[in-house]
Amino acid sequence: MPKVLIVTGAGRGIGAAVARLAAADGYAVCVNYLSNRAAAANVVAAAAASGATAVAFRADVSHEEEVMRLFEHVDSTLGRVTALVNNAGILEKQCRVEDMDSARIQRVLSTNVLGAFICSREAVRRMSTRHGGRGGAIVNISSRAAQLGSPGEYVDYAASKAALETLTVGLAREVAAEGIRVNSVSPGHIYTDIHARGGEPGRVDRLKDSIPMKRGGTAEEVAGAVLWLLSEQASYTTGATIDVSGGR
């Protein structure tokens, strides 16, 4: 069966690492991005260099109609999706809950939670044996913030990631008999540019001594866990969350 993967938010960071590793593993890959076309094109070029078929497609996953266009584009260019990685996620500047306005909270939840729900819905409609599909796998990119809460920094982001882990468990049980596995990966402090968006580019280095392994992680280390969960090696694993956090 051809392996067709959509990775949301795949222009940079963990999403880009997943797309590159998946391409090397024989997936046809759709690199979804929001605004940085050049970065997405670089990921597509890297995938093509490994011999894979890859396309980039701009879609804001917080908008249902754009998600639907994303999946329709993959249907027509790569074929029926067999794997989805819900990686697109945002955070805002570090602050306390008492200083958050509703617009900020809505932005975070719309991308991080609503986007994952709608993408998962479209994937299930194509993968499920109830709908004539041949099964597949979904991996949600959570965060250790879901358990740690990110007090004083990103409690809204942490809450959104906790919602993803609940989605993982509920959806996994809902579609387990329909050939679909749903799991999540929970990264800890990883060197990506998301920390700059929160106002502290050096956040990982500030916190690395609190990690048992005494270092931050890489996007490639997270991608390795994602690819295992997508693979047949994880054929009896669903509803699980793997921590990639250096022990913290």
In Å, what is the CA distance from 181 to each residue of 42, 76, 216, 242? Answer: 30, 24, 29, 14
Using DSSP's 3-state secondary structure scheme, residue 102 falls into helix
| Annotated active-site residue in 33, 157, 191, 236 | 157
Q: Give the HSE-up count for residue 212: Cα atoms under 13 Å, Cβ half-sphere.
A: 5
Give the end-to-end CA distance of the chain in Å, rounded to a whole number: 38
Nearest of 96, 90, 100 to residue 15 by alpha carbon:
90
Nearest of 228, 86, 107 to residue 171 by alpha carbon:
86
Nearest of 194, 228, 174 to residue 108 by alpha carbon:
194
CB contact at 8 A, 153 and 94: yes
Alpha helix (H) residue ranges in the chain: 13-24, 37-49, 64-77, 102-109, 115-127, 145-148, 155-175, 194-197, 203-207, 219-230
- Annotate 109-158 with DSSP letters as a single string: HIIIIIHHHHHHHHHHHHH-GGGT---EEEEEE--THHHH--TTT-HHHH
Respond yes or no: is residue 157 known to be catalytic.
yes
Q: Please list the active-site residues.
A: 157
